[in-house]
Structure 1
Amino acid sequence: MSFSIEGKTAIVTGAANGVGLAIARHFVDQGANVMFADIDEERLSHECGEIPEEDGSIRYFAGDLRERLTLANLLSATIDAYDRVDILVNGSRQVMASDPLDLDDTSFETLMMQNVTNTYRLSQMVAKRMIKQAADKEEGQAGAIVNLSSIAARRTQPQLLSYSVSTAALDQLTRSLAVAFAGHRIRVNSVALGSVMSASLQDALKEHDDYREEIEENTPLGRIASPAELAEAVQFLASEGAGFVTGQIMTVDGGRTLLDPVGAPAH
């Protein structure tokens, strides 16, 4: 069974930088039609303009994905451009520090909306489109949804309480949607990231010089992953080669959770 996504149409959110951008670029390299989606229009325009058109069909959509209408417009723009959608990668995620004793801390509401609610809403909309597309096809995959989660979902660090809870909720959402959509031949899986050179980790390393050494010491493979390495895992889950894989949380962390020192940086 092939892991090819050539000719497929994918929506990738969070595609203006970091891991989301790496996934979108990788999908283009693999011959997919890709809708890059993010709130940062300037960055999207810049990044998409640097990708040669002959490497794949490329479009971008800029908007606040916390709004239902924006999500609907994203899907409509994708259908207008490609007439279908086969893959959804929910790569738009946010990391924020938390203070569990600060009554004015709004990180919990912010991250639940960004990391869970938005994913749920867009997955619902895209799944309905996938079901419609597959109405006259009795066999094969109708579509694949891949969420980006984190190993923080399994760790207990008060300073990242909101992020940890939101990613744990996202893992459960992945499993629940996998069962709900299975009868429609739509698979739903998640990739739980360990220490990957994401935009948020880059910012953290600038503020804390000692983070890199701590992360590398507490990762059996002894390094931080590149965003491109995550893109390969996402491609596998999106491809028909993973046709019997659904509801799974694939951990890509260099062995980090095998040791899981509580005091180490959570990125």
Structure 2
Amino acid sequence: MKKLFASLLMAVASHGFAAPACSGFVPDGQFPTLANPRMAPQTRMLCYSDFVVLHSGITHGPLWSAEHLTRDHLEAAKDMTRTNRFFEDDRLPEGEGATLADYKRSGFDRGHMSPAGNRWNPQAMAESFSLANVVPQNRENNQRLWSHIETAVRRLATRYGEAYVVTGPLFTGAQLQTIGPTRVLVPTQIFKVVYVPSQQLAFAIVADNTSADHYEVRSVRALEEQSGIRFPGIPADAAAETKVSFNGRAFSVRKGFW
């Protein structure tokens, strides 16, 4: 049944809603790149109708998930109903992707990287529940701090008309936790890179994957150094500066607060 549901989603992609090119979800059509060669084996790019994922068969989850948010799409997303039907993407070879059994009684939420709350039509909503788009996330973090971050990004994109967003996990330390028979790696932190073209504004926010509300706002360049992921579509000047602060619920940009 799980595989059938995934197959049906892929069939829907060829009918009704036309799936845009994957490159439309990243600035200047340039995908994030892996500077750390140890991250590269068993990676596969999966294109969905309104986001794209780079999946790792080593971590058994996404290394990043990218989306292009627009004011019109976010307005449409307000009327969408969550499906909450998580599924295993059958485009991944056996053993590379997480399974529903991995999360059962794990104590972790299935944390969306490209959030369900940003999805603007039924196909996109259904696809967002692919396990290729989620990581094991601390339950309090997912439902409290990270939810506030996602809401604040939506407000920012709505205010300025559009934003490109890349979200993913970070794994730091020698001893990493895993869950389930597949041994899905649990991130130590989760990041979100936001680029607003009209303002030439780019920044990253990084939150610990714990119940503590600990986060930092950084430049994109600083995140690149830590993550081993490069974001070539973001102009150098924007990536090198941080013009944003966050109070746990809302971003302030320059002198304006919203």
Q: TM-score, structure 1 length as denominator?
A: 0.27
Q: Normalized per residue, which structure has more strand?
A: 2
Q: Normalized per residue, which structure has more helix?
A: 1
Greater Cα radius of gyration, structure 1 or 2: 1
Q: TM-score, structure 2 length as denominator?
A: 0.28
